[in-house]
């Protein structure tokens, strides 16, 4: 029994991640012991995972979501190689959760054997432990300029004998040419593993599409397992912040009489933009990603999210006028929130000999802190309480309970740390061991914790205070929004779509038995 599948894509953002998650949830609901896998991910959206030996590290956030679809905690082996772009020419290499090197076009071939060996070993371990491993490819398997060094698409499939399906996004247009061309640019041995296709994000009458599906099968000899519809509620845990569009999700009508408008700065190297998704699940909260200074200055709440390149993105803020817009917004007393790299930017100065290596640079000056970068990266899951404090006057939000009574969970991934702060600066959060974390200085807030706003009570109280500071006295936080439940609904929706719109019997046979033995070669093949 093969017990594995590779979900490849005709292009980037074809829907590989969500299709993989949907297949994982479908199998999990059938009682199959299933795990996700992506040999190499290139993304600044990461999550904290744990190795079998208990060591913490980073994996791609999409693989953390896929793990949840399988009913599993994130495991470092689910994404053994993570590349985090710091510029257009280089990326930090995270190997089994630990930052080990920087990769460029010139040294990739040197690093590739080590990366591939680690990925292949991780997949072998997972296949020995689980009934099925659903693997996700990267980009397109037909990137012919990269095939000789590939170990995440057909290079992985060939190494591990993985049956492969190719997903294409019909919303982009040219779906049949994309699927046919992807197959036709592979050599015979690669083509022999391509079992069939899935079309994603379809809107309209399936009857109009059927003649094309029939013709695609005639010219390739391979079936289309099904056509997944476009669905408005599939937006949580986006792999790439560019997938969001301008407004996140479908903002529900407010519980009170006013909306709360949240502007999130779309930084060039934004990381973990998913932090603001929890805000967007709240009724009456409109969250949009923007680079427009006018929108930022006019918003009720401005959020500076995380970034892989804090100093470079800070320079971008200044060059584009966004920094002035943030200061203008703060000057009116309306709230500003910084998360991780965004928090670091709000301080007086940043001392960086690690990431940008530019030494000391001035921050935005909205928080009385200084940040210093350390070569050691903090990667941890964090637990604590909100509005706790250490050696500082208590900061109390309006109608907040006693200090330290609101539980908060999050995770940390950062090189920078607060090396200096005013002694009377109140923290936003407090670790379980009593240490202070973050800052709450009137209407300016910051924290290194990602995921903190997934804690429902903390999120509600923060939004209530943000609305008060913005003068939105008619805003009322919903009393019962559960972010965890919203994520589970998304995963169940993905599983439902797979069950309803794919030929799951044929897909199961492919997973367990591999592709058909008589699949034809489609010329011209690899150049």
Please give the structure tokens belonging to residue 171.
């919303």
Residue 255 annotated as catalytic: no
Residue 340 annotated as catalytic: yes
- Which listed residue (24, 70, 135, 340) is catalytic? 340
Cis peptide before 88 (omega within 30 of 0): no
- Which listed residue (28, 415, 450, 501) is catalytic? 450
Given a contact cutoff of 8 angstroms between Cβ atoms, the answer to whether 519 and 222 are in contact is yes
CA angle 277/494/212 to nearest 5° reads 120
Instruction: Report the Cα 221 to chain-centroid distance in Å.
Output: 36
| Environment class of 253 (CB within 10 Å of its CB; exposed 0-12, middle 13-18, buried 19+) | exposed
Give the span between the Cα atoms of 299 and 475, in whole angstroms.
14
Q: If you write DSSP's letter for every residue of 397-432 in order, what string do you get? A: -TT--STT-EEEEEEEEEEEEEEEE-TTPBPSEEET
Q: Which of 269, 164, 267 is nearest to 222 (CA)?
A: 164
The CA-atom distances, in angstroms, between 236 and each of 130, 275, 304, 489, 493 are 27, 10, 19, 10, 12
Given a contact cutoff of 8 angstroms between Cβ atoms, the answer to whether 184 and 524 are in contact is yes
Q: Which of 369, 371, 372 is nearest to 422 (CA)?
A: 369
Q: Which of 89, 100, 3, 86 is nearest to 57 (CA)?
A: 100
Q: If you write DSSP's letter for every residue of 452-509 in order, what string do you get? A: GGGSHHHHHHHHHHHHHHHT-TT----S---HHHHHHHHHHHHHHHHHHHB-HHHHHH
Q: If you write DSSP's letter for every residue of 276-302 in order, what string do you get? A: GHHHHTSTTEEEEEE--HHHHHH-SEE
Phi, psi of 50, rounded to the nearest 5 degrees: -125, 140
Beta-carbon contacts of residue 100 (< 8 Å; ≥ 6 apart): 93, 94
DSSP for residue 334: -
Would you please indicate which residues are annotated as catalytic (active-site) residues? 340, 450
């Amino acid at each position: 029994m093969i017990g594995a599948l590779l979900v490849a894509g005709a292009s980037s953002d074809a829907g590989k991640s969500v299709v993989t998650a949907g297949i994982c949830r479908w199998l999990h609901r059938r009682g199959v012991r299933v795990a996700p896998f992506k040999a190499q991910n290139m993304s600044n959206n990461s999550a904290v995972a744990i190795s079998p030996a208990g060591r913490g590290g980073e994996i791609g956030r999409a693989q953390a979501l896929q793990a949840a679809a399988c009913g599993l905690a994130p495991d470092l082996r689910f994404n053994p190689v993570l590349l985090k772009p710091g510029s257009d020419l280089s990326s930090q290499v995270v190997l089994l959760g630990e930052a080990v090197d920087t990769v460029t076009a010139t040294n990739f071939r040197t690093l590739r054997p080590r990366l591939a060996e680690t990925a292949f070993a991780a997949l072998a371990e997972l296949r020995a432990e689980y009934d099925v491993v659903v693997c996700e490819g990267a980009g397109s398997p037909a990137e012919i300029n990269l095939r000789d060094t590939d170990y995440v698409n057909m290079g992985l499939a060939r190494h591990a004998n993985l049956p492969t399906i190719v997903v294409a996004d019909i919303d982009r247009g040219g779906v049949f040419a994309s699927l046919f061309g992807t197959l036709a640019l592979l050599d015979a041995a690669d083509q022999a593993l391509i079992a069939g296709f899935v079309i994603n994000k379809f809107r309209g009458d399936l009857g109009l599409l059927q003649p094309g599906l029939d013709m695609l099968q005639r010219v390739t000899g391979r079936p289309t397992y099904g056509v997944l519809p476009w669905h408005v509620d599939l937006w949580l845990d986006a792999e790439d912040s560019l997938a969001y569009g301008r407004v996140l999700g479908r903002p529900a009508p407010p519980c009170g009489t006013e909306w709360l408008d949240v502007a999130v700065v779309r930084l060039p190297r934004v990381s973990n933009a998913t932090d603001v998704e929890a805000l967007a699940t709240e009724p009456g909260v409109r969250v949009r990603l923007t680079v427009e200074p006018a929108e930022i200055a006019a918003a009720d709440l401005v959020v500076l999210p995380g970034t892989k390149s804090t100093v470079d993105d800070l320079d971008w803020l200044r060059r584009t006028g966004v920094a002035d817009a943030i200061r203008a917004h703060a000057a009116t007393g309306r709230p500003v929130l910084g998360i991780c790299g965004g928090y670091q930017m709000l301080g007086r100065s940043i001392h960086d000999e690690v990431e940008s290596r530019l030494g000391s640079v001035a921050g935005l000056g909205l928080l009385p802190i200084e940040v210093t970068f350390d070569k050691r990266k903090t990667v941890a899951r964090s637990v604590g309480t909100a509005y706790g404090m250490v050696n500082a006057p208590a900061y109390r939000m309006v109608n907040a309970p006693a200090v330290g009574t609101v539980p908060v969970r999050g995770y940390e991934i950062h090189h920078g740390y607060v090396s200096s702060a005013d002694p009377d600066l109140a923290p936003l959060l407090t670790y379980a061991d009593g240490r202070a974390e973050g800052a709450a200085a009137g209407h300016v807030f910051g924290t290194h914790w990602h995921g903190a706003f997934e804690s429902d009570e903390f999120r509600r109280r923060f939004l209530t205070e943000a609305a008060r500071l913005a003068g939105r006295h008619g805003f009322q936080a919903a009393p019962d929004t559960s972010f965890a439940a919203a994520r589970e609904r998304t995963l169940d929706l993905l599983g439902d779509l797979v069950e309803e719109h794919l030929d799951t019997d044929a897909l199961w046979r492919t997973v367990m038995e591999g592709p058909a033995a008589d699949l034809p070669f489609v010329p011209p093949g690899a150049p």
